[in-house]
């Protein structure tokens, strides 16, 4: 369902003014309650207000990207979802539980169901790659070392990090390898929800493409829900099922890429519609064209299959008519 509301067009109430335009109702099919539900969030550091009446819902199975200018509070918003910051007002619910009301035990339990790739990579510099990836499993204090050993190698394999790197120190890794090792650690406990803060920042274009492909395949194969902050348009367009734009201390627009691009807001124009944005849009067009082709081929296959099924059924019925039971009187006696 489209809603053409643009920020600032409703003069009747301040609250309505701040509500993000609901570009497309998500989800289109029934995927259950939101995994993350942020309602009327305010974040303050002293007198500085970072978020003001911010609303955001994230559903199971999506890749939601958060974009916004530097210092607009994207990382702090992720930290709110992780229970690392406290709302000054409003609520942040993850897996249906109010995170600011969660006690230490509850928070620890919730942490086992999400993984986080921090903006700065954030591997422990004094630990080897192996020990970094093993650390969330060891914290559980429930797994024997041989199980952890196998699991670490499995995760390294999953993110395309050769086991020959297992006993290197982070300082001896390239930028791309640090990202992969950090991702392996974020996946250590097989989370449902993966948070990524600028996952491709600092990677050259080839490594960045490879990392995007990796996230795509993990999303598909593990059925992960991904919440990502990125300013990289190629990453954004290649991965996002929806984009949330953070500006003026709240989410000013949320929806599928094309719908967000159509919102009339200075940040959106400046961010998406420069030369870089145009190039990334062309890539999006190519993707759409490929997807259309794929869907058409699928439809043709489906039609051919239906036709074949129908012919088979007709043949079977026809055959059954021809093979009508022989009257008993005509059954030859032997």
Q: Which residue ranges make up the site for ligand ATP (CB under 6 A)?
A: 45, 50, 68, 70-76, 119
Q: Find all residues with CB under 8 Å of 53, minimum gap 6, and list them.
A: 15, 18, 40, 41, 42, 90, 249, 250
Q: Which does 249 bind (CB under 5 to 8 A by kind): ligand ATP, Mg ion, none?
A: none
Rounded to 5 degrees, what angle do the CA atoms 244, 246, 249 make?
A: 145
Q: Which does 167 bind (CB under 5 to 8 A by kind): Mg ion, ligand ATP, none?
A: none
* Minimum distance of ligand ATP from residue 81's CB (angstroms): 12
Q: DSSP state, 11?
A: -
Choose between 52 and 75: whose C-beta lies nearer to Mg ion. 75
Q: Which does 76 bind (CB under 5 to 8 A by kind): Mg ion, ligand ATP, none?
A: ligand ATP
Q: Which does 255 bind (CB under 5 to 8 A by kind): Mg ion, ligand ATP, none?
A: none
Choose between 152 and 229: whose C-beta lies nearer to ligand ATP. 229
Question: Residues interacting with Mg ion, by CB under 5 A?
Answer: 75
Choose between 69 and 162: whose C-beta lies nearer to ligand ATP. 69
Q: List the beta bridge partners of residue 63.
A: 226
Integer Cα distance of 121 and 171 in angstroms? 12
Residue 253 neighbours by CB distance under 10 Å: 26
Tell me the chain's radius of gyration from C-alpha atoms.
26
Closest Cα partner for 219 from 235, 232, 206, 203?
235
Choose between 76 and 169: whose C-beta lies nearer to ligand ATP. 76
* Minimum distance of ligand ATP from residue 54's CB (angstroms): 12
DSSP string, 106-155: HHHHHHTTEEEE-TT----TTS-HHHHHHHHHHHHT-S-HHHHHHHHHHH
* Minimum distance of Mg ion from residue 202's CB (angstroms): 13
* Minimum distance of ligand ATP from residue 70's CB (angstroms): 4
Integer Cα distance of 282 and 318 in angstroms? 53
* Minimum distance of Mg ion from residue 230's CB (angstroms): 10
The number of residues making up the chain comes to 334
Choose between 80 and 257: whose C-beta lies nearer to ligand ATP. 80
* Minimum distance of Mg ion from residue 42's CB (angstroms): 19
Cβ atoms of residues 116 and 82 within 8 Å: yes
Choose between 67 and 239: whose C-beta lies nearer to ligand ATP. 67
Q: Which does 72 bind (CB under 5 to 8 A by kind): Mg ion, ligand ATP, none?
A: ligand ATP
Q: Which does 117 bind (CB under 5 to 8 A by kind): ligand ATP, Mg ion, none?
A: none
Beta strand extents in the chain (DSSP E only): 36-45, 48-58, 63-68, 89-94, 97-98, 114-117, 193-197, 225-229, 242-247, 250-255
Choose between 276 and 292: whose C-beta lies nearer to ligand ATP. 276
């Amino acid at each position: 369902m489209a809603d053409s509301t643009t920020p600032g067009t409703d003069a009747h109430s301040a609250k309505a003014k701040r509500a993000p335009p609901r570009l497309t109702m998500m989800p289109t099919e029934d995927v259950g309650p939101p995994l993350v539900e942020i309602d009327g969030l305010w974040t303050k550091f002293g007198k500085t207000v970072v978020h003001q009446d911010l609303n955001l819902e994230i559903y199971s199975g999506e890749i939601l990207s958060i974009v916004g200018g530097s210092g607009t509070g994207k990382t702090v918003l992720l930290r709110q979802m992780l229970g690392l910051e406290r709302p000054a007002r409003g609520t942040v619910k993850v897996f249906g539980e109010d995170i600011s009301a969660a006690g230490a035990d509850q928070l620890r339990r919730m942490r086992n169901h999400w993984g986080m790739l921090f903006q700065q990579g954030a591997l422990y510099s004094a630990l080897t790659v192996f020990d970094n990836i093993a650390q969330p499993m060891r914290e559980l204090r429930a797994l024997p070392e041989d199980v952890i050993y196998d699991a670490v190698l499995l995760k390294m394999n999953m993110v395309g990090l050769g086991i020959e790197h297992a006993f290197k120190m982070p300082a001896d890794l390239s930028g791309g390898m640090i990202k992969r090792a950090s991702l392996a650690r974020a996946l250590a406990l097989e989370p449902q929800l993966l948070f990524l803060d600028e996952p491709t920042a600092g990677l050259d274009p080839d490594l960045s493409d490879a990392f995007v492909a990796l996230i795509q395949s993990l999303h598909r194969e593990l059925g992960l829900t991904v919440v990502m902050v990125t300013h990289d348009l190629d990453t954004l367009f290649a991965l996002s099922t929806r984009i949330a734009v953070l500006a003026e201390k709240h989410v000013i627009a949320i929806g599928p890429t094309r719908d967000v691009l159509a919102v009339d807001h200075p940040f959106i124009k400046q961010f998406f519609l420069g030369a870089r944005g145009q190039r990334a849009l062309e890539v999006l067009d190519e993707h759409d064209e490929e997807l259309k082709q794929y869907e058409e081929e699928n439809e043709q296959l489906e039609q051919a299959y239906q036709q074949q099924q129908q012919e088979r059924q007709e043949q079977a019925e026809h055959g059954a008519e021809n093979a009508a039971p022989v009257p008993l009187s005509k059954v030859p006696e032997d």
